[in-house]
């Protein structure tokens, strides 16, 4: 274990096998998406009835604008909002956020750690840093895989600039931040790992459902502003070739607010099994 940032390294060391599997899974999945996108003619999708896909399908293409799933940016965006992609992100976030505080309290190891000259802020900072490192790696793996696929597919490359791929990857980090903040807040106040994992999954699932319903049903349209998937729009980033900074700012802002709340909650709580 490293002498500097031991809690950071410990978090990564304990989850190293799971993280390796997630990275491989992410690369394989995004490679498959690129291959599938290259094999399809997106314009022909949903064209048999003479109409395009329903507007709610934008939820699956990672767009809150006009990017249809029946387009290359829409298809690649679908790979970055697919339930498999979400599940891998949430597995990493839920697992490491749970391990940040709640799992140590549940298992009793928090006693050994926190009787040492370790401030609660430091515990949170090192564990958050480990989580950030993991989501950076995961999103980098997805981004590089998609970028490689786009670079090797002239048809896709004409519709999707590489800058859009990297912008979409950056938006993925924003989404992860948005999940990390609340997950860390639950961990900072919780006593069980299952509370954190459950809350993380619930936030994402409810968020996705709210966004889909808001796109499908006009009276519910205002609810879309409550969903992280309204702001996490890799399809739009892929089409526009740049980061959507206001959306990214909202995602990152929610994450930072969650971390601030985690800090407050951790300072006030008891740390014993």
264 touches other proteins by CB under 8 A: no
Separation in Å, CA 167 to CA 66, 98, 128, 164, 204:
17, 29, 23, 5, 21
Q: Which of 250, 269, 272, 66 is nearest to 175 (CA)?
A: 250
Give least dist CB 1 to other proteins, A: 5
Span near other proteins by CB under 8 A; candidates 110-118, 188-196, 201-209, 234-242: 110-118
Give least dist CB 5 to other proteins, A: 9
110 touches other proteins by CB under 8 A: yes
Residue with tokens 């989580």: 131
Give least dist CB 109 to other proteins, A: 5
44 touches other proteins by CB under 8 A: no
162 touches other proteins by CB under 8 A: no
163 touches other proteins by CB under 8 A: no
Query: Within 13 A of 131's CA, how many CA atoms are on the CB side?
Result: 31
Distance of alpha carbon 164 from alpha carbon 197, whole angstroms: 31
Count the residues of the shown chain that bind other proteins, applying the rule CB under 8 A. 27
2 touches other proteins by CB under 8 A: yes
Which of 39, 48, 51, 115 binds other proteins (CB under 8 A)? It is 115
Residue with tokens 């997950």: 183
109 touches other proteins by CB under 8 A: yes
Which of 27, 32, 56, 114 binds other proteins (CB under 8 A)? It is 114
Nearer Cβ to other proteins (34/262): 262
Query: Within 13 A of 127's CA, how many CA atoms are on the CB side?
Result: 33
Residue with tokens 């999954």: 201
Span near other proteins by CB under 8 A; candidates 8-16, 70-78, 213-221, 225-233: 8-16
Give least dist CB 111 to other proteins, A: 5
Give least dist CB 136 to other proteins, A: 23
Exposed/middle/buried for residue 69 (C-beta within 10 Å: 0-12, 13-18, 19+): buried
3-class SS of residue 50? coil
Which of 49, 117, 222, 246 binds other proteins (CB under 8 A)? It is 117
Q: In Å, how far from its chain's centre is CA 22?
A: 13
Q: Taking a C-beta distance cutoff of 8 angstroms, is the pair 128, 222 a contact?
A: no
Kindly state the helix (H) or strand (E) to which residue 162 belongs, with its residue range.
helix 162-189
Distance of alpha carbon 100 from alpha carbon 187, whole angstroms: 7
Residue ranges that bind other proteins, judged by CB under 8 A? 1-3, 6-7, 10, 13-14, 107-119, 268-273
């Amino acid at each position: 274990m490293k002498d500097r940032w031991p809690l950071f390294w410990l978090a990564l060391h304990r989850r190293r096998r799971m993280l390796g599997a997630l990275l491989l899974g992410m690369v394989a999945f995004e490679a498959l998406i690129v291959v599938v996108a290259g094999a399809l003619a997106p314009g022909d999708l949903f064209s048999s009835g003479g109409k395009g896909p329903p507007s709610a399908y934008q939820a699956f293409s990672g767009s809150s604008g006009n990017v249809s799933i029946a387009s290359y940016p829409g298809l690649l965006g679908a790979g970055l909002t697919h339930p498999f992609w979400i599940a891998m992100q949430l597995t990493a976030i839920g697992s490491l956020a749970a391990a940040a505080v709640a799992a140590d309290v549940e298992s009793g190891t928090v006693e050994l750690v926190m009787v040492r000259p370790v401030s609660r802020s430091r515990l949170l900072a090192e564990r958050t840093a480990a989580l950030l490192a993991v989501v950076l790696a995961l999103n980098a793996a997805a981004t590089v895989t998609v970028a490689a696929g786009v670079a090797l597919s002239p048809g896709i490359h004409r519709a999707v600039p590489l800058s859009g791929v990297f912008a979409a990857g950056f938006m993925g980090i924003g989404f992860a931040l948005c999940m990390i903040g609340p997950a860390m807040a639950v961990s900072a106040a919780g006593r069980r790992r299952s509370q954190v994992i459950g809350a993380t999954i619930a936030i994402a699932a409810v968020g996705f459902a709210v966004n889909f319903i808001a796109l499908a049903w006009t009276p519910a349209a205002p609810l879309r502003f409550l969903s992280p998937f309204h702001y996490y729009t890799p399809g739009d980033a892929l089409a526009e070739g740049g980061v959507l900074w206001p959306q990214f700012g909202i995602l990152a802002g929610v994450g930072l607010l969650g971390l601030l709340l985690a800090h407050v909650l951790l300072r006030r709580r008891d740390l014993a099994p």
